[in-house]
Amino acid sequence: MTVHTATCTAPVNIATLKYWGKRDKSLNLPTNSSISVTLSQDDLRTLTSAAASADFQEDQLWLNGALESLDSPRTKACLADLRALRAAVESADASLPKLSQYHLHIVSENNFPTAAGLASSAAGFAALVSAIASLYELPQDMSELSKIARKGSGSACRSLFGGFVAWEMGALEDGLDSKAVEVAPLAHWPTMKAAILVVSDDKKDTPSTTGMQSTVATSDLFQHRIHEVVPKRFEEMKKAIVNKDFETFGELTMKDSNSFHAVCLDSYPPIFYLNDTSKKIIKLVHKLNELEGHIIAAYTFDAGPNAVIYYDEANEAKVLGTLHKYFAQVQGWDKKDASALNGGVDIDGVDPEIYKGVSKIILTSIGQGPQKSTQSLINEQGLPK
């Protein structure tokens, strides 16, 4: 049997200007543009192999070892778009195998625990689209492919690029201008680092899709955010990135996280994603910046209590040293030498038990976009290895 395969990896991205609100739910068209930093795939990535064969009986997906349904309208929309693009390639060259007509087997694995509550759907859909686009040898560029990933999960469109990425909301009803673009590549500002504090939480958070629908329908503050706050901040943040101006970038990042959580609170009934530990982390970062006299660390929180703290490598001793003072007992410090962690400062009023609310720390940095890989997860029969 002939099995055609391709394998790609894709990164996680963490927004510094948040996407929150859809103007079209089925196409995942947003109510505002957003910006993110792509994180290193050494620490967080999805690896996906895609295979097509005339002998496959149905489309199948294995996720972290378990067979998953491919029936969701979002996944179906991605597959339909990719098949249509492949069909166009085939009609231009009759010698090509008709992969667009074959069923697909997709095998996907994360290198981080899904349970950690880190947005895995962005990396997942970006890897799915990249692997199938590679299998189909599609000529489309990353921005074009980002429109397909967007239909899987809005934030996934930003995982098609490395470095600093903008998702331009677009204005068209069909979404053809709602796509990700590169603001600056990894090489522009490679010293950008991120410390992720995985905050323990037993309650189930409101899924982002339902949460944002509720905010759009009920929050007045949200109207102010999308019309007044974000359009201006979008331009300012891009400029701060181009100028490698951490102070401005950091301030805008923290303000936007707070603005997003404010519209969640202004939804009716209110949505709470931050817990007490998240709030203590916010205070700690503000006090550290105050002590320094300028911004050296910037927090951001998504639809859950985990904190992502961005900082420039130039301030690593101070930022990580201070985090280490308060979170030394948490796992995840092993990749740093003790000497890199003793530059911290004492901060007044930090709860000495703050570490109890954090289960893990992931020390990572800015990273690259999707990569082709030779590490196939699919065997010669087209099944998971």
For position 124 contacting ligand DP6 by CB under 6 A, the verdict is no
List Cα–Cα distances, 306 to 118, 186, 279, 313, 340, in angstroms.
Answer: 8, 24, 11, 21, 24
33 scored as a contact of ligand DP6 (CB under 6 A): no
- From the list 107-115, 153-161, 185-193, 306-314, the region that binds ligand DP6 by CB under 6 A is 153-161
Does residue number 302 form part of the binding site for ligand DP6 (CB under 6 A)?
A: yes
Pick the piece of the chain touching ligand DP6 (CB under 6 A) from 152-160, 196-204, 246-254, 344-352.
Answer: 152-160
Q: How far is the CB of 52 from ligand DP6 (least distance, A)?
A: 26
Strand arrangement, sheet containing 45-53? 66-68, 60-63, 103-110, 45-53, 4-11, 371-372
Q: Helices 121-135 and 142-152 sit at what angle, rounded to 10 degrees?
A: 130
* 257 lines the binding site for ligand DP6 (CB under 6 A): no
Q: Are 318 and 344 in contact (CB under 8 A)?
A: yes
121 binds ligand DP6 (CB under 6 A): yes
Work out how close the CB of 371 gets to ligand DP6 at its nearest, in angstroms, rounded to a whole number: 21
75 touches ligand DP6 (CB under 6 A): no
Query: What would the DSSP string read from start to end of 268-313?
Result: SS------HHHHHHHHHHHHHHHHHTS--EEEE--SSS-EEEEEEG
Shortest CB 34 distance to ligand DP6, Å: 5
Cα 90 to its chain centre, rounded Å, is 33
- Decide: is 28 part of the binding site for ligand DP6 (CB under 6 A): yes
Q: Of 34 and 267, which has the nearer Cβ to ligand DP6?
A: 34
Distance CA 129, CA 309 (A): 29
Selected range binding ligand DP6 among 12-20, 59-67, 169-177, 240-248, rule: CB under 6 A? 12-20
CB of 72 to ligand DP6, least distance (A): 11
